[in-house]
């Protein structure tokens, strides 16, 4: 199979993630969408690594996974705190800061 | 040539004085005033001592020159020096500051800003005013030009009238608009100098010596000129002035209109013309048009003002029209006239604002003309000074303002007959609004509310007398001014490649005895 | 051109002529209340000293040859820029010495007179200060050796006039009159300024000697322009049509002022200017014609106004306009007229000062009432005043041997020389002079007493009457002596040039005709105002009378043509400045503020909206880059 | 090879990768990172009472040590870590500045005298706002010391960010810098709802932008087969044809970086986060993130994408103009001082972008100078904000600043100085900064951008000046806040910021020389 299809797939996944961020209200889902975007990038890295014939992309993918994990920790911490305060995980609810 | 750093000393003395005043305890207001007075008088004395050593017909373009590298990375140096034009304006500033200090002795109280703050600001301003006229590095000039805004901004905003913060912000922003466009041009000039000479410089003489491409000149000129036109102010960039003048204390207005605004016209003659000769020639018709409009516009608007300070502001606008006209007709008569006019306008504005300020301080600080009538009856000395100020403003022959105005008109007439003729009509309207003001405030039956208004006191008279004396003495004997101004103006004329038109009738030998050296034989 | 003689001997004191009264003015005006007690005497002393110096100079000058009577004194170079230069320098010649004497002598008399007239005024000191200032400025005007310095004196007298007209400035009408005088004079000054500029541009100098020396080389157009501009200046200062409107209002000033400034000296400065610039007018024919026309119009305007006014001072002011009209007209006649213009000026200076001071003396006895309809039958009560007044009256209407006869008749002769029309008009106006002056004398001193109730007419103190007597003596013998003993024609000839008259008819024909006309006018005046009852309320009168009472609508015309449009323009510009120019400034600030208010609402506070704008931005950046790359 | 690349690269190191790692060259990063690790351990093992002093010693000690190493490294130009890190002039200047600013920020964070309840941070971030727990913690005087490891970790990322010479390193540094900051933003002691909201917004949007950045990296990797900036640049020169991939990659990379520098239209997080975060953190992040992000942006643009200058210039040109204008315009109607300064920081980013767009050594130097000037002024301004308080905490509403000059002339004067510096009035650092970027831009022909910058400066001046109007020209009201006398920590930070602002305005020559000598990025 042509690896460039994976690139296309990654683009689709990235777009889904981006749209997810835009349309979903639940902070967790939004957060998952962001993760989806990161993983779309990972997919692209791996596909490109294959196409370019070097391993750099795969190495990058590992780094990204680690970073994503760290991001999860931080993100969840923040979301949980907000949830505990507001009793809601809606991303639209914290709206005191504007204009 | 002495090596004593005169100009730096002139700047440092008021600056140190200002710091001392600012550091005084808040309660020591009297001491603050006394120090301010002593320092400003000392500066004046130093200025006079310096002026006495000025060589009128020196071959050097600038005297009392000092130069130290400041930001060599950008070719910036701390370079000061004065030619005749700079010298008279430095002297004007140094003269007016002690007068303003004395006149403003009781102008401020602790209610809003601190008393010492006001006087400290005046002294800082003096440093900057001297600096701006003495700078021979264009960047240094710009720095003084911009920084000057800050003390004035505080002087208006903290110590002014009801609309003070509107006026102060308008003043600052309007000036900043001009200043920043000038900054852009200034940088452009630097870049051009870097391209032409290899190393960028802000040195005035080097820049004036460059033969900048005409198209580039036209662009760069605009930035400089806009800043100066706002500062001067030229129509239609003038609307900050009435507000600023109306909301300021009299002393602030004196320094603002009397000295600061001169930076605009000074900048035109010192920077616009020599650095951008081709562009100056190109834009001269437009500028002259603006100046002409300004002359009449200011005068007409002044005619129906009911606020004395606004009236003075519009009248200044009219006067600045004359000054600008004189500069841009490119005749030595016109340009020397402009410089004399700058001095004269400084003196007449000071006299007008201070007398009006004394008047207002006697009646709730109101500047409404309709609040006064018949003041001459109860305060004849005040009315007398008001009359002198008014006459000086309408350029009565025998006063220094006449020499300035006449030379400007003559210079204009020489170059463009109809422009000169048209501008001359301005003197009628000037007389109209000035005398109308005098008539409405000083003459007629005394208003009952003004009954018992005290006349001027010793301190106030002391502040006004030097102005009146200078106005008349320089009007009858302007040689001290002309001797130093003429060579500087000649240099400007040379730099723009302009020559005076010759008389149409040849053979008109100058046969009068006692002519200056360049006259022909008897 | 005559060579300038160095100022030696008494002539080295030329500057002192001016400096003395100037010093007096400075001391009086800046000395404050300290000088109240002795100030007026100082004022008299300084002017008197100037008069003495002037007389000495006249004597000294008479000892010189006619070619050596032009004396120059240069103090220092006053204004010098580039090619332009004007000295602080004086030129004393036959013409200026005449003026110096007129100014200082009449000035001294009027100073003395004022001592009585202003005795009870609290601001007497200031009054004398202003008078001194006037004398100094007027002397500067006639002594200057270049036009720029002349301009200083020119405006200086204007200033003094302004200050003195509005001397009683507590009266709004006085303050307004002073302002009006100054502003209208400024219009004339524009003419003088421009004339000076044009001279400099043309000749490269503004000195008398330089300009006159090469005036002939300039084109006639230029000279005409200079001439017309000088005429404009003269119109302003001498209250000639169309700048005549201020003079009648100027009568708001104290009467000695009217006598000195608005009759004898300052208003004649225009004549001086034209005669001084005779070289230019001689070479510019059309300018000279304009001078004649202006003069003629003013002769008639002044006479008509003078015939209709009931205010004694205003009537005299009309007369002044008219008489100066004669002088101006004479100055327009060319070399033939210059001498007569100056001659009449001198004579007029004497008798008109006498008339004004006489009028002041009458007013002094009539509680300062100026309405002639409330006078009448004053002659027995004011013998000295009425006698001197009548002498001066005879002088002005031109009855021989009083001085006006000589000077006015000469002018009429000269005008016939120029053109019969001018001559006839000038002659008829002389008849009108006879009418209105007779009317004045009749209404004041004869007929029935029409006094107000609490008025107790009385003769004025000696300090006032003595100057009157002196002036009357001058009016009686001045003309005779200058014609038969002093020969003013040959005296002035080196300055003005001369041209002998060749009239078609013998001179006595004109003299007789003029005399007859004057007498007819006088008789009509007498019959109307002495024999008949003069109503206390002015009758409605003919349209001409009504117009004349309104100064022939001079103010109305100015108002409609100049004042109203000016203020309309001013108010419109104020509106435009606020709404237009400043409106634009504030509007752009408001626009940015409004923009800010709108833009900040895009900052909704919703994360997803922020994300959307990021995505949008990203898409745009991608698209832009792709497009840029693709292209 | 583009003209720029020729100009920029004068050494033959292009093809040479250092074998192994030069540990001394990256010691500043390592020191801070090590300190961060120790700091985490301190949290775990040191008794609560002793934690604060210990942490402070670690923080201050490590920052000073790192600073000393940076100074010692001056003049170094090398690439280490298998091409991952470039230690060159610009890097060292930015690291040095970052460390000094971090030190000042640490002082602000350590301040305990201002708030009667303790420092600026919630005693337990996990406690519910307003809950009994929280009140109890407050009463006991608990202090949050976890801020210190976060602080050090963020600093680690910042130090590495401008040094990163490949995109992977850059991404990691970005995340290391950002993640702790997300948390720090949410730790305010007062107004916790705002603080938490700020954290959430910062985190979600930050992560979102990171995803863009990463995807951009992926595209560029796909194009060039490497994540090294040098390799990307070389590939660009070698095969400039593959339009879409490069364009998309470059665009997304730029989105990620422009988000961090707060350029329009990726700026919207800034006001919310700046306003909600604890003031010392706002000051820290406003100053340092801008430096680090611009460092990375500069390196990416100059080194990696220098060959594509003609492609990205017009876009950045528009973005710079928009950034200046939008930031300035919106700021003029702000009523909250922190929010206003946030918009101001957006506008300032636009001005720095002018210097970036000069794409010349002068542009780089001027941007560096501007960053230094801006960083000190900004941290000083936030230091003042932290001192102006009323009963409910910081008085950030502008109406409460009315007549402040009466209550505290000195503080008002200093704050005015910062405002004038930000407005770019001569004799302040801000003016020299603006002068520098404008000069570089005009020399590169970007005159119109400068003119837009001039217009924006005027608009911006309005709101800076407005603060002075409020402080000086209005009379105090009963609502007017008072100025709390801080401890030596804040005093030192404030004094340092004010001094630098003035000195850089009057005698900028040494620093200008420094940034000029920093030369260009190593390749």
* pLDDT tens-digit readout, D295-332: 999 999 999 888 888 888 999 999 999 999 999 999 99
Question: Model confidence at D19, in pLDDT bands (50, 70, 90)?
Answer: low
Residue C583 has pLDDT above 80, yes or no: yes
pLDDT at D8: 44
- From chain C, the residues in CB contact with A25 under 8 A are 608
- From chain A, the residues in CB contact with D172 under 8 A are 63, 67
D244 vs C603, C624, C626: nearest CB: C626
DSSP string, B277-330: HHHHHHHHHHHHHHHHHHHHHHHHHHHT-SBHHHHHHHHHHHHHHHHHHHHHTT
Average confidence (pLDDT) per 10 residues, chain A, 99 residues: 86 94 91 93 92 88 93 92 88 85
What are the structural domain ranges in chain D?
Answer: 19-517
Q: Which of residues 13-42 of A touch D (CB under 8 A)?
A: 14, 17-18, 21, 27, 30-31, 34, 37-38, 40-41
Residue C46 has pLDDT above 50, yes or no: yes
Handedness of CA B130, B133, B137, B138 (dihedral sign): positive
* pLDDT tens-digit readout, D178-211: 999 999 999 998 888 899 999 999 999 999 999 9
Question: Model confidence at D139, in pLDDT bands (50, 70, 90)?
Answer: confident
Cβ atoms C376, C464 nearer than 8 A: no
Question: Model confidence at C217, in pLDDT bands (50, 70, 90)?
Answer: confident
pLDDT at B2: 52
Task: Report how far apart, in Å, the C-alpha atoms of B483 and of each of B53, B90, B487, C500 are.
Answer: 13, 16, 7, 50
Q: Tell if the CB–CB gap between D447 and B184 is shorter than 8 Å.
A: yes
Q: Tell if the CB–CB gap between A60 and D227 is shorter than 8 Å.
A: yes
Q: Tell if the CB–CB gap between B187 and D508 is shorter than 8 Å.
A: no
Residue D7 has pLDDT above 60, yes or no: no
Q: SS3 sequence, C302-330?
A: HHHHHHHCCEHHHHHHHHHHHHHHHHHHH
pLDDT at C478: 83
Beta strands at D78-80 and D388-390: parallel, antiparallel or unpaired: unpaired
pLDDT at B362: 86
DSSP state of B198: S
Look at residues B470, B412, B521, B372 and name the one whose alpha carbon lies nearest to residue B48. B470
Nearest residue of D to residue C621, measured between CA atoms: D251
More confident residue, B250 or C452: B250
Chain D closest CA to B173's CA: distance in Å?
7
Which of B418, B461, B512 should we substitute to test contact with C (largest number of C Cβ atoms within 10 Å)?
A: B512
- From chain C, the residues in CB contact with B406 under 8 A are 79, 148, 151, 193
In the structure encoding, which two tokens stand for residue C42, read together? 């100082």
Is D465 near chain B, with CB under 8 Å?
A: yes
Question: Model confidence at C411, in pLDDT bands (50, 70, 90)?
Answer: confident
pLDDT at C70: 83
In the structure encoding, which two tokens stand for residue C147, read together? 């036009």
- From chain A, the residues in CB contact with D150 under 8 A are none
Look at residues D369, D461, D476, D371 and name the one whose alpha carbon lies nearest to residue D424. D461
Whether omega for the bond prior to residue C401 falls within 30 degrees of 0, making it cis, is yes
Is A48 near chain D, with CB under 8 Å?
A: yes
Nearest residue of C to residue A30, measured between CA atoms: C608
Q: Tell if the CB–CB gap between D251 and C593 is shorter than 8 Å.
A: no
Rounded to two decimals, the ipTM of the complex is: 0.90
Mean pLDDT for C522-537 is 84
Nearest 5°: the CA angle C561, C562, C563 is 120
Residue B509 has pLDDT above 80, yes or no: no
Count of CB pairs separated by less than 8 Å, B with C? 224
Q: Do chains B and C touch (3 or more CB pairs under 8 A)?
A: yes
Cβ atoms D329, C596 nearer than 8 A: yes
Nearest residue of A to residue C603, measured between CA atoms: A99
Q: pTM for the full model?
A: 0.92
B142 vs D424, D426, D454: nearest CB: D426
- From chain A, the residues in CB contact with D204 under 8 A are 21, 27, 30-31, 34, 75, 91
Q: Tell if the CB–CB gap between A98 and C612 is shorter than 8 Å.
A: no
Q: How many CB atoms lie within 10 A of CB C609?
A: 17
Q: Which of residues 56-75 of B touch D (CB under 8 A)?
A: 69-74
pLDDT at D238: 84
What are the structural domain ranges in chain B?
Answer: 279-505
Task: Report how far apart, in Å, the C-alpha atoms of D30 and of each of C153, D33, D151, D162 are.
Answer: 89, 5, 15, 15
Cβ atoms C428, C300 nearer than 8 A: no
Q: Tell if the CB–CB gap between D168 and A60 is shorter than 8 Å.
A: yes
Whether omega for the bond prior to residue B38 falls within 30 degrees of 0, making it cis, is no
Task: Report how far apart, in Å, the C-alpha atoms of A59 and of each of A64, A65, D178 are.
Answer: 9, 10, 22
DSSP state of D113: S
Question: Model confidence at D2, in pLDDT bands (50, 70, 90)?
Answer: very low
Q: Tell if the CB–CB gap between C79 and B439 is shorter than 8 Å.
A: no
pLDDT at D433: 94
CA C394 from centroid of its chain's CA atoms: 24
Is D266 near chain C, with CB under 8 Å?
A: yes
Question: Model confidence at B1, in pLDDT bands (50, 70, 90)?
Answer: very low
Which helix (H) or strand (E) covers residue D183, if one does? Answer: helix D167-185
pLDDT at D423: 93
Question: Model confidence at B100, in pLDDT bands (50, 70, 90)?
Answer: very high
Is C616 near chain D, with CB under 8 Å?
A: yes
pLDDT at A1: 64
Which of C79, C283, C558, C576 should we substitute to test contact with B (largest number of B Cβ atoms within 10 Å)?
A: C79
Chain A closest CA to D169's CA: distance in Å?
10
* pLDDT tens-digit readout, C47-89: 999 999 999 988 888 887 777 788 888 888 999 998 888 999 9
Question: Model confidence at D65, in pLDDT bands (50, 70, 90)?
Answer: very high
pLDDT at B342: 94
> What residue has token string 């990171």?
D210
Beta strands at C5-6 and C71-81: parallel, antiparallel or unpaired: parallel
Chain C closest CA to D266's CA: distance in Å?
5
pLDDT at B488: 92
C605 vs A18, A21, A98: nearest CB: A98
The Cα–Cα gap between C321 and C237 comes to 11
Give whichever of C10-14, C512-516, D336-340 has the largest mean pLDDT.
D336-340
Chain A closest CA to C590's CA: distance in Å?
19
Look at residues D117, D120, D123 and name the one whose alpha carbon lies nearest to residue D137. D123
Contacting chains of A (3 CB pairs or more, <8 Å) are: C, D
* pLDDT tens-digit readout, B463-498: 999 999 999 999 999 999 999 999 999 999 988 888
- From chain C, the residues in CB contact with D312 under 8 A are 625
Residue B363 has pLDDT above 60, yes or no: yes
Chain B closest CA to C562's CA: distance in Å?
11
Nearest residue of A to residue C605, measured between CA atoms: A98
Q: Do chains A and B touch (3 or more CB pairs under 8 A)?
A: no
Q: Which residues of D touch A (CB under 8 A)?
A: 125-126, 128-129, 168, 171-172, 175, 179, 182-183, 186, 192-194, 196-201, 203-204, 207-208, 210-212, 214-215, 217-219, 221-222, 225-227, 271-272, 275-276
Q: Which of residues 61-80 of A touch D (CB under 8 A)?
A: 63-64, 67, 70-71, 74-75, 77-79
C196-228 core/surface letters (b: 16 or more CB in 10 A; e: else) = bbbbbbbbbbbbbbbbbbbbebbeeebbbbbbb
Q: Tell if the CB–CB gap between B157 and D469 is shorter than 8 Å.
A: yes
Chain C closest CA to D55's CA: distance in Å?
35
In the structure encoding, which two tokens stand for residue C380, read together? 């027995």
């Amino acid at each position: 199979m042509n690896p460039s299809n994976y690139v296309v797939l990654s683009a689709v996944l990235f777009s889904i993630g981006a749209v997810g961020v835009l349309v979903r209200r639940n902070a967790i889902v939004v957060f998952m969408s962001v993760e989806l975007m990161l993983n779309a990038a990972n997919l692209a890295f791996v596909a490109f690594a294959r196409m370019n014939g070097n391993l750099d992309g795969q190495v990058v993918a590992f780094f990204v996974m680690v970073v994503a994990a760290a991001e999860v920790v931080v993100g969840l911490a923040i979301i949980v705190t907000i949830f505990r305060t507001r009793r809601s995980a809606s991303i639209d609810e914290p709206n005191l800061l504007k204009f | 040539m002495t090596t004593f750093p005169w100009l730096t000393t002139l700047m440092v003395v008021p600056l140190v004085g200002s710091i001392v005043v600012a550091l005084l305890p808040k309660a020591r207001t009297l001491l603050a005033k006394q120090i301010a007075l002593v320092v400003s008088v000392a500066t004046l004395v130093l200025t006079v001592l310096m002026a006495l050593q000025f060589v009128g017909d020196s071959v050097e373009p600038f005297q009392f020159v000092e130069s130290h590298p400041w930001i060599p990375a950008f070719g910036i140096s701390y370079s000061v020096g004065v030619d005749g034009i700079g010298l008279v304006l430095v002297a004007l500033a140094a003269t007016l500051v002690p007068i303003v200090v004395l006149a403003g002795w009781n102008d401020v109280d602790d209610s809003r800003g601190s008393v010492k703050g006001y006087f400290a600001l005046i002294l800082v301003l003096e440093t900057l005013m001297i600096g701006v006229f003495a700078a021979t590095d264009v960047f240094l000039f710009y720095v003084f030009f911009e920084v000057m805004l800050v003390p004035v901004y505080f002087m208006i905003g903290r110590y002014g009238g009801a609309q003070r913060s509107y006026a102060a912000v308008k003043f600052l922003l309007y000036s900043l608009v001009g200043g920043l466009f000038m900054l852009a041009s200034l940088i452009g000039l630097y870049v051009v100098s870097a391209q032409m000479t290899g190393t960028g410089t802000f040195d005035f003489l080097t820049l004036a010596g460059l033969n900048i491409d005409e198209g580039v000149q036209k662009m760069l000129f605009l930035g400089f000129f806009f800043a100066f036109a706002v500062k001067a102010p030229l129509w239609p960039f003038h609307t900050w002035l009435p507000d600023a003048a109306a909301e300021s204390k009299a002393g602030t207005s004196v320094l603002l209109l009397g000295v600061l605004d001169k930076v605009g016209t000074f900048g035109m003659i010192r920077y616009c013309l020599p650095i951008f000769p081709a562009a100056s020639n190109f834009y001269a018709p437009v500028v002259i048009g603006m100046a002409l409009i300004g002359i009449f516009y200011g005068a007409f608007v002044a005619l129906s003002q009911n606020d004395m300070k606004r009236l003075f502001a519009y009248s200044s606008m009219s006067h600045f029209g004359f000054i600008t006209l004189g500069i841009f007709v490119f005749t030595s008569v016109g340009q020397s006239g402009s410089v004399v006019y700058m001095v004269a306008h400084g003196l007449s504005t000071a006299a007008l604002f201070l007398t009006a300020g004394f008047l207002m301080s006697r009646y709730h600080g109101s500047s409404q003309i309709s609040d006064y009538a018949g003041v001459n009856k109860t305060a004849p000395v005040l009315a007398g000074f008001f009359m002198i100020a008014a006459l000086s403003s309408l350029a009565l022959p025998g006063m220094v303002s006449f020499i300035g105005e006449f030379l400007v008109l003559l210079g204009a007439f020489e170059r463009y007959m109809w422009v000169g003729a048209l501008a001359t009509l301005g003197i009628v309207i000037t007389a109209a609004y000035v005398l109308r003001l005098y008539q409405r405030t000083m003459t007629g039956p005394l208003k009952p509310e003004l009954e018992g208004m005290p006349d001027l006191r010793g301190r106030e008279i002391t502040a006004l007398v030097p102005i009146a004396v200078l106005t008349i003495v320089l009007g009858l004997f302007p040689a001290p001014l002309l001797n130093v101004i003429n060579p500087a103006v000649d240099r400007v004329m040379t730099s723009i490649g302009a020559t005076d038109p010759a008389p149409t009738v040849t053979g008109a030998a100058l046969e009068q005895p006692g002519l200056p050296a360049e006259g022909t034989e008897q | 051109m005559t060579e300038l003689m160095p100022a030696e001997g008494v002539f080295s004191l030329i500057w002192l002529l001016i400096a003395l009264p100037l010093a007096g003015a400075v001391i009086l005006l800046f000395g404050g209340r300290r000088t109240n007690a002795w100030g007026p005497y100082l004022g008299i002393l300084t002017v008197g000293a100037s008069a003495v110096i002037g007389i000495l100079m006249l004597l000294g000058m008479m000892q010189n040859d006619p070619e050596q009577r032009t004396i120059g004194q240069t103090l220092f170079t006053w204004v010098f820029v580039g090619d332009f230069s004007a000295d602080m320098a004086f030129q004393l010649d036959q013409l200026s010495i005449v003026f110096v004497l007129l100014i200082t002598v009449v000035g001294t008399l009027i100073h003395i007179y004022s001592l009585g007239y202003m005795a009870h005024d609290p601001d007497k000191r200031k009054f004398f200060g202003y008078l001194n200032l006037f004398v100094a400025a007027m002397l500067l005007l006639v002594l200057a050796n270049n036009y720029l310095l002349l301009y200083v004196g020119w405006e200086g007298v204007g200033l003094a006039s302004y200050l003195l007209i509005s001397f009683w400035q507590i009266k709004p009408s006085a303050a307004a009159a002073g302002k009006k005088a100054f502003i209208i004079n400024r219009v004339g000054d524009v003419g003088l300024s421009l004339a000076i500029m044009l001279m400099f541009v043309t000749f490269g100098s503004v000195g008398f000697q330089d300009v006159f020396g090469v005036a002939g080389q300039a084109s006639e157009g230029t000279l005409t322009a200079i001439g017309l501009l000088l005429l404009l200046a003269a119109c302003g200062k001498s209250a000639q049509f169309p700048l005549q409107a201020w003079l009648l209002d100027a009568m708001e000033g104290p009467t000695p002022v009217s006598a000195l400034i608005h009759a004898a000296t300052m208003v004649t400065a225009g004549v001086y200017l034209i005669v001084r610039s005779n070289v230019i007018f001689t070479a510019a024919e059309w300018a000279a014609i304009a001078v004649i026309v202006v003069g003629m119009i003013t002769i008639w305007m002044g006479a008509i106004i003078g015939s209709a006014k009931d205010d004694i001072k205003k009537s005299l002011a009309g007369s002044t306009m008219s008489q100066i009209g004669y002088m101006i007209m004479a100055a327009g006649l060319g070399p033939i007229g210059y001498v007569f213009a100056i001659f009449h000026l001198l004579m007029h200076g004497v008798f008109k000062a006498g008339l004004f001071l006489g009028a002041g003396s009458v007013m002094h006895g009539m509680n300062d009432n100026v309405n002639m309809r409330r006078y009448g039958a004053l002659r027995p009560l004011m013998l000295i005043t009425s006698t001197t007044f009548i002498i001066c009256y005879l002088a002005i209407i031109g009855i021989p041997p009083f001085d006006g006869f000589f000077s006015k008749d000469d002018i009429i002769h000269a005008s016939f020389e120029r053109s019969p029309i001018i001559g006839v008009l000038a002659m008829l106006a002389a008849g009108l002079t006879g009418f209105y002056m007779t009317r004045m004398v009749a209404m004041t001193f004869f007929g029935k007493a029409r006094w107000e109730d609490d008025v107790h007419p009385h003769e004025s103190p000696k300090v006032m009457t003595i100057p009157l007597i002196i002036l009357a003596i001058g009016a009686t013998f001045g003309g005779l002596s200058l014609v038969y003993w002093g020969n003013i024609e040959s005296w002035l000839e080196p300055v003005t040039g001369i041209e002998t008259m060749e009239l078609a008819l013998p001179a006595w024909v004109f003299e007789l005709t003029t005399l007859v006309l004057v007498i007819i006018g006088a008789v009509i005046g007498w019959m109307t105002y002495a024999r008949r009852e003069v109503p206390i309320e002015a009758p409605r009168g003919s349209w001409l009378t009504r117009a004349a009472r309104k100064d022939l609508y001079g103010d109305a015309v100015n108002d409609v043509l100049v004042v109203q449009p000016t203020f309309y323009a001013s108010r419109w510009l104020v509106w435009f400045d606020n709404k237009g120019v400043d409106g634009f400034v504030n509007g752009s600030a408001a626009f940015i503020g409004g923009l800010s208010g709108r833009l900040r609402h895009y900052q909704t506070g919703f994360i997803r909206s922020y994300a959307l704008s990021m995505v949008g931005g990203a898409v745009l950046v991608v698209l832009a880059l792709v497009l840029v790359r693709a292209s | 090879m583009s003209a720029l690349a020729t100009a920029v690269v004068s050494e033959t190191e292009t093809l040479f990768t250092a074998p192994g790692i030069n540990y001394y060259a990256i010691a500043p990063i390592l020191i801070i990172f090590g300190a961060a690790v120790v700091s985490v351990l301190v949290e775990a093992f040191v008794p609560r009472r002793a934690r604060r002093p210990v942490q402070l010693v670690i923080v201050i000690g490590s920052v000073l040590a790192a600073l000393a190493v940076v100074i010692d490294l001056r003049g170094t130009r090398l690439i280490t870590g298998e091409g991952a890190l470039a230690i060159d002039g610009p890097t060292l200047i930015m690291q040095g500045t970052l460390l000094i600013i971090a030190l000042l920020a640490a002082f602000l964070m350590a301040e305990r005298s201002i708030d009667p309840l303790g420092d600026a941070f919630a005693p337990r971030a996990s406690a519910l706002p307003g809950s009994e727990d929280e009140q109890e913690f407050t009463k006991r005087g608990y202090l949050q010391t976890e801020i210190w490891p976060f602080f050090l970790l963020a600093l680690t990322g910042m130090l590495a960010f401008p040094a990163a010479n490949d995109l992977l390193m850059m991404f990691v540094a970005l995340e290391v810098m950002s993640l702790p900051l997300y948390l720090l933003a949410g730790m305010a002691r007062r107004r916790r709802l705002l603080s938490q909201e700020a954290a959430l917004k910062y985190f979600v949007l930050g992560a979102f932008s990171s995803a863009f950045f990463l995807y951009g990296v992926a595209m560029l990797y796909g194009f060039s087969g490497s994540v090294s900036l040098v390799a990307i640049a070389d590939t660009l020169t070698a095969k400039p044809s593959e339009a879409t991939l490069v364009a998309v990659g470059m665009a997304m990379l730029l989105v990620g970086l422009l988000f961090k520098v707060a350029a329009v239209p990726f700026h919207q997080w800034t006001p919310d986060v700046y306003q909600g975060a604890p003031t010392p953190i706002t000051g820290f992040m406003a100053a340092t993130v801008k430096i680090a992000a611009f460092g990375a942006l500069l390196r990416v643009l100059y080194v990696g994408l220098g060959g594509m200058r003609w492609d990205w210039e017009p876009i950045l040109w528009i973005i710079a103009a928009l950034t200046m204008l939008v930031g300035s315009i919106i700021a003029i109607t702000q009523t909250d001082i922190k929010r206003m300064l946030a918009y101001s920081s957006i506008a300032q980013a636009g001005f720095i972008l002018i210097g970036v767009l000069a794409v010349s050594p002068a542009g780089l130097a001027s941007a560096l100078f501007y960053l230094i000037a801006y960083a000190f002024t900004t941290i000083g301004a936030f230091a003042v904000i932290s001192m102006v308080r009323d009963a409910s905490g910081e008085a950030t509403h502008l109406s409460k600043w009315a007549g402040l000059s009466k209550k505290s002339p000195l503080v008002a004067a200093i704050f005015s100085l910062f405002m004038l510096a930000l407005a770019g009035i001569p004799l302040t650092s801000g003016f020299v900064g603006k002068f520098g970027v404008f000069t570089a831009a005009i020399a590169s022909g970007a005159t119109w951008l400068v003119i837009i910058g001039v217009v924006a400066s005027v608009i911006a001046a309005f709101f800076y000046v407005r603060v002075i109007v409020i402080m000086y020209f209005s009379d105090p009201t009963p609502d007017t806040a008072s100025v709390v006398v801080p401890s030596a920590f804040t005093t030192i930070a404030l004094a340092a910021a004010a001094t630098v602002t003035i000195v850089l305005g009057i005698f900028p020559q040494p620093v200008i020389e420094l940034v000029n000598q920093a030369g260009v990025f190593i390749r």
